[in-house]
Structure 1
Amino acid sequence: MAKQQSKQKAPALPSPYELMGARIQKIINSPAAQKARSVVIEKTHSEAQEDWERFLDEVAENDNVTIAPRDDGSVKLSWTVPAED
């Protein structure tokens, strides 16, 4: 019986934007942030300004999220949880 070789490609590595999103998602999902329904986040030195601006633009499209820029360059995200019908 011949040995069957897998010709599957390795999964693609996440993009820098996806890595930034995962980092921010962890912060937002923390128990403290969920309890306060707000969090202060900032771009790290290794993240592209273009990715940061794209993230903020995408978040701003959500009706239940408020973005408050801060003097130090970080932003405070606050959100409300809509009432269920």
Structure 2
Amino acid sequence: MAKSKPAVKHVVSGLERLGLRVSAMINHPIAQEQRWVTIHRLDSDGDMEWDEVMSLISETDGIEMTFNDDGSVTLRWEASSEDDPQVQEREEFTLMDEPAPF
């Protein structure tokens, strides 16, 4: 019987986790339709990681950053061109007046 190699577990760093969360928020269909998103800092987001991600975003052309009083950051952007694909509105993606759970 052949021995299988033990699975290598990749531990996601705080920077990677924050980057993935921010990327998912920016790429969400509603954010893409609205062309803005507000990112809330979680207790698990370290100072160094938060500052690094905010720095990377600030260096990105076409993104306007607004630092809010509650510590969140609102990102706004314009369409690159008229040929950009638009998200079709669907019932599943309706705006809610509830605050984000994070």
Which of the five TM-score ranges fits, normalised by the shorter chain? 0.7 to 0.9
Q: 2:11 aligns to what?
A: 13
- TM-score, with length taken from structure 2: 0.70
75, 88, 98: which one pairs with 1:77? Answer: 75
68, 73, 84: which one pairs with 2:66? Answer: 68
Overall identity of the aligned pairs, in %: 30
- Which residue identity lines up with residue 5 of structure 1 in the other structure? K
Higher RCO, 1 vs 2 (CA within 8 Å, ≥6 residues apart)? 2
Max radius of gyration: which structure?
A: 1
TM-aligned CA deviation for residue 4 of structure 1: 3.7
Q: Which runs of 5+ in 1 are unaligned?
A: none
- Which residue identity lines up with residue 56 of structure 1 in the other structure? M
Count the aligned residue pairs. Answer: 82
Q: Secondary structure at the match of 1:71?
A: coil
Deviations 1:40-83 (A, max 9, x none): 11110111011111100001111111111111111100112322
- Which residue identity lines up with residue 20 of structure 2 in the other structure? A
